[in-house]
Chains A and B, each alone.
Chain A
Amino acid sequence: ELKVEQNPLFLSMQEGKNYTIYCNYSTTSDRLYWYRQDPGKSLESLFVLLSNGAVKQEGRLMASLDTKARLSTLHITAAVHDLSATYFCAVVGIQGAQKLVFGQGTRLTINP
């Protein structure tokens, strides 16, 4: 059974600092997603990572994937308050299938 674990689950940081959220998964997968969720809202797609070594960047967020280590990271550079949200990683459960298994989520709070 595929398990997806994120850490940390809660993160409070100051503006201007850098930090990394980790996403580990237990079995081989060919696709990993990162989403952002604001309180009371749905999921906003951030990144789709499809291959080993994939790296994608959007603004202050950068995501990478190491399929051999079954690890993805979401790096935040020079955090700003607007990035406060809950971040989820999700992995395709079965190769060729489309249903997702989600991590627990990381609740990120960025303080001025």
Chain B
Amino acid sequence: SAVISQKPSRDICQRGTSLTIQCQVDSQVTMMFWYRQQPGQSLTLIATANQGSEATYESGFVIDKFPISRPNLTFSTLTVSNMSPEDSSIYLCSVALNTEAFFGQGTRLTVV
């Protein structure tokens, strides 16, 4: 299995600012995934982060808004830029190991 540590667990941010979320996994993995869960909604994939290359973004998500870093095989960051109240969500990182998909504990972001 994989243990994923995500930081911060929650934050309240002012609109117009940026927040960087960190995700550390205890195993080396090729791909890490970032998901967003808006209030009362399901999970939507933001992007896939591969080590050594640019992240691949899903439709509706752009690098300028959600820049991602992937400096090594155990770590990734997601930045939520120029935040607005619509960005208030839970952000989760995920990794796949063998046939399992593991999730971090999530970052609950509130933008005021």
Name A's B-contacting residues (CB within 8 A): 31, 33, 35, 40-43, 45, 48, 50, 88, 90, 98-105
**Cα distance A50–B43 in the bound complex, in angstroms:** 21
- Total contacting residues, chain B, CB less than 8 A: 20
Taking the closest CB of chain A, its distance from the CB of B95, in whole angstroms, is 9
> Given A98-B31, A98-B33, A98-B96, do A33 and B42 touch, yes or no (CB 8 Å)?
no
Name B's A-contacting residues (CB within 8 A): 31, 33, 41-45, 48, 92, 94, 96, 99-106, 108
Q: Determine the main DSSP class of B at the interface with A.
A: strand
Return chain B residues, CB-CB under 8 Å to A31: 99
Select A42's contact among B42, B45, B99, B105, beta carbons within 8 Å: B105
**Cα distance A10–B87 in the bound complex, in angstroms:** 25
Taking the closest CB of chain A, its distance from the CB of B33, in whole angstroms, is 6
Taking the closest CB of chain A, its distance from the CB of B56, in whole angstroms, is 9
Q: Which 4 A-B pairs have the closest CB atoms?
A: A98-B96, A43-B103, A42-B106, A42-B105
